[in-house]
Structures are given as C-alpha cells and as structure tokens.
Chains A and B, each alone.
Chain A
Amino acid sequence: MEEVKAMMAGNVWKIVVAVGDTVEEDQDIVILESMKMEIPIAAEESGIIKEIKVAEGDFVNEGDVIAIIES
C-alpha cells in the first residue's frame, strides 16, 4: 500500500486516474495547479488505485495524501 502525497501546496486541477485503474511507476495520478504551473503528481510504485482522497478544485497542502495505491 502506497500513499501518493502532494509534493507541494496547490489546487487539484485534474484527476487523471479513477479508482480501480492499474498504474505504472511514474504515471501521473493528479495534476495540481500551483505557482501558475501544472504540477503532475506521479505514482512512486505501480499498483491499483484503491482510493482517491481529493476532488478537482480542492486545496492540498504539502504532504497531504492524494490517493492510495495497492501494489
């Protein structure tokens, strides 16, 4: 089980996976918008998306859990 965490504060701009999806290492999970930049947050391990803890438009702080991957 791996927690995908926000690497910096920002708004959730796009969620690009859905619960149940299989993802590879380095595959983007969500894209944040911060400092006027698109910030992709990628999976550190491959696995299946078990839970997505944010919605588009949410503010997340650095370290907040965005999704949970089951490997």
Chain B
Amino acid sequence: MSYMEELQKRVQHIEKGGHEKYHQKNEEKGKLFVRKRLELLFDEDMDIEDAFFANCMDDSLPSDGVVTGIGKINGQDVCVMANDSTVKAGSWGKRTVEKILRIQETAMTLELPILYLVDSAGARITDQIEMFPGRRGAGRIFHNQIKLSGRVPQICLLFGPSAAGGAYIPAFCDIVVMVDGNASMYLGSPRMAEKVIGEKVTLEEMGGAKMHCSVSGVGDVLVKTEPDAISYARNYLSYFPKSFREKPQSYETKEVKEFEKSIEDIIPENQNAPFNMHDLINRIIDEDSFCEIKKKFAPELITGLSRINGKSVGIIANQPRMKGGVLFPDSADKAAKFIQLCDAFNIPLLFLMDVPGFMIGTKVERAGIIRHGAKMLAAMSEATVPKISVIVRKAYGAGLYAMAGPAFEPDAVIALPTAQIAVMGPEAAVNAVYANKIAELPEEEREAFIKQKQDEYRDDIDIYRLASELVIDAIVEPSKLRKELMKRYSIYEAKNVVFTERKHGVYPV
C-alpha cells in the first residue's frame, strides 16, 4: 500500500464512525450521525478538525468517540465538541477527554462561542485511571466550562444521554436544548437507583427531556427532533456577540406584527383578571423575533430574547395567565439565570411588570422562597446593561423590587396608564389595616365601609401621584410604548458602568 493509499484508507474508516449496527440503532431512534449533525449545524462544512486520528491505533475507536473543531454559524466562527454515540456509546476515554479540553482551551484563547453536542454514556470505566481523577481528567472539562462561563456563549444540545458526571456539561452551559424522547440527564441510572436506594422508576420519569424542561429546570428548551434543536441553536446565537467584549450584532428592523386588537384592548381594567402577557410582548417587539427560554418551566414568568429596532433585548415578564403572575422559588431562579446571561453578553433588559408579589404560605417558605427571591434581586441589581422597567399593571410588594423597580438603578421606569404600585393591592391592604374594625361593624355596613376604604387607598397609590413624586419617569400611552422603548434603548447604548469593585459578591444561593 502506498502512503497515500494508507492515509485514504484510514480517513475513510474513521469518517464512518462506529460499527454499522450502532448507526442502525441510532437511526431507529431518530438520531443522526455526528457528522450529519455538524453538517446541519454549520453554514457550510466544518472548517477545521483536530485530533481526527485520536486513538487511531485501535480500529474500534474512530476519533476516540468525539469530533472537535471549528466552523461557522451565521458567519461567526464557533468551536464545537460532538460525541459520536456509534463509538462505544460516546463514552469518554483518555483522548476523548483531552480533545474536549483542547477545544475548550481554543475557545478560551480565541474567545469564540462553544457548542457541546452531547450524546454520551459517560466515563469509559476500563480507562478510568487515565481519564477520571487527574489534572487532565474529566473534572477539568467542568473547570474549563466554569472559566468560560460569561466569557463566551456556551450552548448544549442534548441528543442522547448525559449520564453521571457527564450530566454536569449541560449544567454549566448557558442553555440546554433537549430532544424529546432521546435526551436525558441523570447522576445515577434507573438500574442504579433500584440497586442502591430501592427506587423503581423509568428513565423518562427520572431524567427525561420533558421532566427536565418542566420540573427540574436543568433543561431549557424542549424540541421534537434533532434538526429542530440545531435550528434553535443557530437562531439563539444570532442574539449574541461572540464574547463578552462585544455587543450583539444588529439586524434590519422588522416592524411589529399587525394585530386587530390594540394593547389597550388586551389589558383588562380589573387588576385581578388574567390576560396573556405574550400578547403584549408581540405588540412591542420586531415581528417573529421572540426566542423563548424555559417556556415550560415556571411559566408564571416569561423569559426570552427578542429584537426591538433590530437589536437584541432580553425580556423578563410576569405572566398573569399562569399562577396569577405570582413569583415562586422556581420563577426567581429562572429570572436570575436569564438576567445573568443577558448581562454577561451585553444584551439590554426589559422588565414587563404585572406582579401581585412573591407567593406566601408554608410550602414556599419551606422551599426557601426568601433565599431564591434574593438571587433574583441580586442578579437584577448587579446587571449593568441598559435596563428599562415597564409597569403594565400592578407592581406589588417585593415584586416591584425583583422586577427592577426604581431603587435598583433601572435607566427608566415607565408606567402605562393602567399601572398600580403599592406594598399590596387595595383588597389586601384594607383587610390588613381594618380587619378588626370590619369585624366590629354590623354586617350591613361592612361592604360600604370596605369599598370606601379601598377607594381611598386607590387614590393614595394613584399613578399620577407617583409620577408627581418622581417615583416613575414617564407615563406612556400603550400604543406608543414600542416607539418609546426604541428611543430609549438607542440612547442608553452609551451606558458604560461597573457595578462595584470587589473580588465577587457572596451570592444568596
């Protein structure tokens, strides 16, 4: 065999990945071959690939079960590591881990976004001494991820299992997209759970995509197919700069979508009646520009990326349609991470407030709602990107604080004429102050008394009174809200502040 023939033969062998039967198995599950995934992910082919010949002395381990390299998404270079589940179930040997470490270190040096296409059974037990405990062992992958966090975008597309220690790769990414039915994350498999703690449970129940995207919140986006996951990632990246040093790219402004009903029409006058906050969001952002994150987790708070005037804006909005828009431990956590994500990559924030406050009662106190709420306040307070809060309707109690109220240095607090700011709503306040008095009154007088006191209370918290006291910066007609936001974000682009000087805060986690 000539040199050339040998090279070609080896390249062909490695390019094919693992044994044919594993390709078939994957196909039955709707899983694509790793190189096909990369083809869909990049604008064109991957530009460079390193350590293609990793472990090539062993024919059964092409590329040692992982592809690493650099290609372009939306014209931007990005690093990628992608498990090949046809090679020993995508498990990690010594060279697999070294390849992952090297592409991470490349992302660090070049300050490029990095994507992790995960489909792996975890550590290759036979290789554990070489890949598990040491300085260049798998633990270093997480150390690198933590170092990369906030420097460059880190995205995880989960196509298969992410087991045991491997489950921490998604945990340290900015966002985790999971393919329903195939993706899973767990520290111990159902088999192990039964052996060690006696629990009988299915994989789907314990660590499936639906569970993680709606209950645990470890997953962010649930998709049906692998191409859906890939197109979500491509779109998601379009809202981000390549690193923390830059601002996101601007796009051509798309007009807002046209609707029959105006903002005024969709917001009920009764503060306690629900409406769908998505209807308001769609009336102020560029058409079809909403990229929602954690749609199914803590839906009482909406978080997502959007464009206003062609520029990225991160939206945090109470959803009165779900749980009355009340804040819970999960919604506070969801907000805290999203705010940090946007602030890290210079994406301005928009808070849309319609919040009755934080949930009360035994259940949430035991869950540590104060501690979780504090995380949201801390993240919101520390964010130094342009911040605008819009008071859509009620902003009661600590809800006003958590949603970037006036005390937390938003660049502007804008009220719609329907806004209402108070420690609590009129019903609760009158009850709190006059409970004894009401009980003493003859029954026929109670209703009139309560109504009179509620009316007095409403006058006291009148939005014009708050504008007169400079609590809010502007009252805007709903139909002019988008214009107002466009002007303000454009002006606030000049903002350049440092929150404070220190090593780092002590987070209320």
Point out the residues of chain B lying under 8 angstroms from A37, CB to CB. 272, 274, 320, 324-326, 356
Q: Which of A8, A9, A62 has the most CB of B within 10 A?
A: A8
- Is B274 touching A35 in the complex (CB atoms < 8 A)? no
18 intermolecular pairs with C-beta atoms under 8 Å apart: A7-B322, A8-B326, A8-B328, A9-B361, A9-B363, A35-B324, A35-B356, A35-B357, A35-B360, A36-B272, A36-B356, A36-B425, A36-B428, A37-B274, A37-B326, A38-B272, A38-B274, A61-B363
Kindly state the separation between the CA atoms of A8 and B427 in the bound complex, as whole angstroms.
20
**A39 located at the interface, meaning its Cβ lies under 8 Å from any Cβ of chain B in the complex:** yes
- Is A40 touching B356 in the complex (CB atoms < 8 A)? no
Question: Closest approach, in angstroms, between the C-beta of A42 and any C-beta of chain B?
Answer: 9
Point out the residues of chain A lying under 8 angstroms from B427, CB to CB. 36
Question: Closest approach, in angstroms, between the C-beta of B366 and any C-beta of chain A?
Answer: 12
1/0 contact string of A29-43 vs chain B (CB within 8 Å): 000001111111000
| Given A9-B361, A37-B274, A40-B321, 6 new contacts (CB under 8 A) | A8-B324, A34-B324, A35-B326, A35-B359, A37-B320, A37-B326
- Tell me the A residues contacting B by CB distance below 8 Å: 7-9, 34-40, 61-62
- Is A8 touching B274 in the complex (CB atoms < 8 A)? no
Can you list the 5 inter-chain pairs with the closest CB atoms, starting with the nearest? A37-B324, A39-B324, A35-B356, A8-B323, A35-B326
Q: Which residue of B lies closest to A37 (CB)?
A: B324
Kindly state the separation between the CA atoms of A57 and B261 in the bound complex, as whole angstroms.
34
Number of A-B contacts (CB under 8 A): 40
**B1 located at the interface, meaning its Cβ lies under 8 Å from any Cβ of chain A in the complex:** no
Kindly state the separation between the CA atoms of A7 and B330 in the bound complex, as whole angstroms.
13
Q: Which residue of B lies closest to A32 (CB)?
A: B324
- Quick one: which of B309-352 are within 8 Å of A by CB? 320-326, 328
**B498 located at the interface, meaning its Cβ lies under 8 Å from any Cβ of chain A in the complex:** no
Among B272, B323, B428, the residue within 8 A (CB) of A7 is: B323
Question: Closest approach, in angstroms, between the C-beta of A66 and any C-beta of chain B?
Answer: 14
Kindly state the separation between the CA atoms of A34 and B428 in the bound complex, as whole angstroms.
11
Q: Which residue of A lies closest to B357 (CB)?
A: A35
- Is A39 touching B359 in the complex (CB atoms < 8 A)? no
Point out the residues of chain B lying under 8 angstroms from A39, CB to CB. 274, 323-324
Among A38, A40, A62, the residue within 8 A (CB) of B363 is: A62
Question: Closest approach, in angstroms, between the C-beta of B45 and any C-beta of chain A?
Answer: 42
**B273 located at the interface, meaning its Cβ lies under 8 Å from any Cβ of chain A in the complex:** yes
Point out the residues of chain B lying under 8 angstroms from A40, CB to CB. 274, 321
Q: Which residue of B lies closest to A6 (CB)?
A: B323
Q: Tell me the dominant secondary structure on chain A's binding face.
A: loop
Kindly state the separation between the CA atoms of A37 and B319 in the bound complex, as whole angstroms.
12
Point out the residues of chain B lying under 8 angstroms from A35, CB to CB. 324, 326, 356-357, 359-360
Q: Which residue of B lies closest to A28 (CB)?
A: B274
Kindly state the separation between the CA atoms of A9 and B364 in the bound complex, as whole angstroms.
10
- Knowing A9-B363, A62-B363, say if A38 contacts B323 (CB, 8 Å): no
Question: Closest approach, in angstroms, between the C-beta of A13 and any C-beta of chain B?
Answer: 10
Point out the residues of chain A lying under 8 angstroms from B274, CB to CB. 37-40
Kindly state the separation between the CA atoms of A34 and B274 in the bound complex, as whole angstroms.
12
Point out the residues of chain B lying under 8 angstroms from A34, CB to CB. 324, 326
Point out the residues of chain B lying under 8 angstroms from A7, CB to CB. 322-323
Question: Closest approach, in angstroms, between the C-beta of B356 and any C-beta of chain A?
Answer: 5
Point out the residues of chain B lying under 8 angstroms from A9, CB to CB. 361, 363
Point out the residues of chain A lying under 8 angstroms from B324, CB to CB. 8, 34-35, 37-39
- Is A38 touching B322 in the complex (CB atoms < 8 A)? no
Q: Which of A7, A35, A39 has the most CB of B within 10 A?
A: A35
Point out the residues of chain A lying under 8 angstroms from B359, CB to CB. 8, 35
Kindly state the separation between the CA atoms of A37 and B428 in the bound complex, as whole angstroms.
11
Kindly state the separation between the CA atoms of A47 and B272 in the bound complex, as whole angstroms.
29
Q: Which residue of B lies closest to A33 (CB)?
A: B272
